Amino acid sequence: MRFSSVFLLSLAAASAAFPEEELVDKTLIAWVSPANLQQQGGSCLTLESGNDTFDAIVFGELMPSVWMAGSENFNRTQRNQDDLPKETLQNQDFVQIAIIYKNKQIALYRNGILIEKHETNAKSIKFGKETIILFGKRHRAAKTGTTFKGRIKDARVYQGALEPDELKELKPGEQGKKIPWAWWDFKNSGTFEKTGRFRHNRLVGKARIENEALVLDNEGDSFIASIEDQILNMQPDESWSGKLPVPEYVLKDARKLREIFLEDPYRPYYHFCVIDGNGVPGDPNGAFWHNGRYHLMYLYSKAGSGFCWGHVSSADLLHWRHHPDAIGPGNGDEGCFSGGAFVDDDGTAYLSYWMLWGAKGIGIAKSNDPNFETWTKLPENPVCISTEFGITDLPKPDGSRLVYGTQDPSNIWKHDGKYYMLTGNGPLLWSDKYGLRGKSSNPAWQGDHLYLFESNDLKTWTYLHEFYERNPKWTENTEDNSCPSFLPLPSSPNGGQPSGKYLLLFISHNKGCQYYIGDYENNQFIPDNHGRMSWVDNTFFAPEALIDGKGRQIAWVWLLDNTSNDMDRGWSGVYAIPRSLWLGEDGTLRQAPVSEINNLRMKQFDWNNLKLKANQTQKLDGFQQDCCEIYLETPYDCAGNFKLNVKASPDQEELTTLYFDKQNNRLVFDASKSGKEGRPVVEHAPFVLNDGEPLKLRIFIDKCVVEFFANDRQAISRRVYPSNRDSNQIEIIATGDIAFTTLNAWDLAPTNPY
Do both 149 and 49 map to the same domain? yes
Domain boundary among 233, 254, 280: 233
* Domain limit, last residue, from 179, 209, 233: 233
629 and 483 in a single domain? The answer is no
Cis amide linkage into residue 309, ω under 30° from 0: no
- Tens digits of residue pLDDT in 376-419: 999 999 999 999 999 999 998 998 889 999 999 999 999 999 99
Report the alpha-carbon distance of residue 243 to residue 548 in Å, rounded: 37
State the SS3 of 379-432: CCCCCEECCECCEEEEECCCCCEEEEECECCCCCEEECCEEEEEEECHHHHHCC
Residue 204 covered by a domain = yes
User: Considering the chain, what percentage of its residues have pLDDT values greater than 90?
Assistant: 71
Tell me, yes or no, whether 530 and 611 share the same domain: no
221 touches 205 (CB < 8 A):
yes
Q: Are residues 51 and 168 in the same domain?
A: yes
> Do 111 and 56 belong to one domain?
yes
Q: How far apart are CA 270 and CA 576, in angstroms?
A: 10
Average pLDDT over residues 292-304: 92
Note the pLDDT tens digit of each residue in 321-337. Answer: 999 999 999 888 888 99
Give a yes or no: residue 686 inside a domain: yes
Phi-psi region of 408 (alpha: psi -120 to 50; beta: other; left: phi over 0): left
Handedness of CA 163, 167, 170, 173 (dihedral sign): positive
318 band by pLDDT with thresholds 50, 70 and 90 = very high
**Residues 511 and 649 placed together within one structural domain of the fold:** no
Average pLDDT over residues 593-607: 97
Q: Is the pLDDT of residue 230 over 60?
A: no
pLDDT at 235 over 50: no
Q: pLDDT band at 15, cuts 50/70/90? A: very low
Asked if 80 and 218 sit in the same domain, the reply is: yes
* DSSP code string of 108-151: EEETTEEEEEEE--SPPPPB-TT-EEEEEBSSTTPPTT-B--EE
189 pLDDT tier (thresholds 50, 70, 90): confident
Distance CA 208, CA 576 (A): 31
Residue 376 lies in domain: 327-561
Q: Give the pLDDT mean for 628-646.
A: 96
Rg of the chain (C-alpha set): 28
Cβ–Cβ < 8 Å for 503, 517:
yes
Q: Identify the band that residue 616 occupies on the pLDDT scale cut at 50, 70 and 90.
A: very high
Considering the domain boundaries, does residue 720 fall inside one? Answer: yes
**Do both 546 and 623 map to the same domain?**
no
CATH of the domain at 166: 2.60.120
Q: Are 415 and 429 in contact (CB under 8 A)?
A: no
* pLDDT at residue number 83: 86
Residues 53 and 188 in one domain: yes
Among residues 504, 536, 561, which one ends one of the domains? 561
Residue 306 pLDDT greater than 90, yes or no: no
Residues 529-580: tens digit of each pLDDT: 999 999 999 999 999 999 999 999 999 999 998 887 777 888 999 999 999 9
Length of the chain: 754
Q: Are residues 334 and 469 in the same domain?
A: yes
DSSP state of 23: B
Give the domain CATH number at 466: 2.115.10.20
What is the tally of structural domains in the chain? 3
CB 303 within 8 A of CB 192: yes
Distance CA 572, CA 320 (A): 17
205, pLDDT greater than 90: no
pLDDT band for position 714 (50/70/90)? very high
Q: Are 675 and 727 contacting, i.e. CB atoms less than 8 angstroms apart?
A: yes
Residue 273 lies inside a defined structural domain of this protein: no
pLDDT score of 17 more than 90: no
- Could you tell me if residue 283 is inside a domain? no
How far from 419 is each of 320, 367, 422, 551, CA to CA, in Å? Answer: 30, 17, 11, 20
Q: What is the pLDDT of residues 536-547, one digit of tens each?
A: 999 999 999 999
**544/614 same-domain check:** no
Cα torsion angle, 154, 160, 166, 168, sign: positive
- Residue 61 sits in the same domain as residue 136: yes
Q: Would 73 be classed as within a structural domain?
A: yes
User: What CATH number is associated with residue 662?
Assistant: 2.60.120.560
| Out of 55-69, 79-93, 442-456, least confident range | 79-93
**148 with 97: CB under 8 angstroms?**
no
Residue 21 is predicted with a pLDDT of 61
Would 107 be classed as within a structural domain?
yes
Tens of pLDDT along 348-366? 999 999 999 889 999 999 9
Specify the DSSP element, H or E, that contains 262. Answer: helix 248-263
Q: Is 229 part of any domain?
A: yes
Q: For 257-279, how does the pLDDT look when each residue is reduced to its tens digit (9 = 90+)?
A: 999 999 999 999 999 999 888 88
Q: What is the pLDDT averaged over residues 31-49?
A: 93
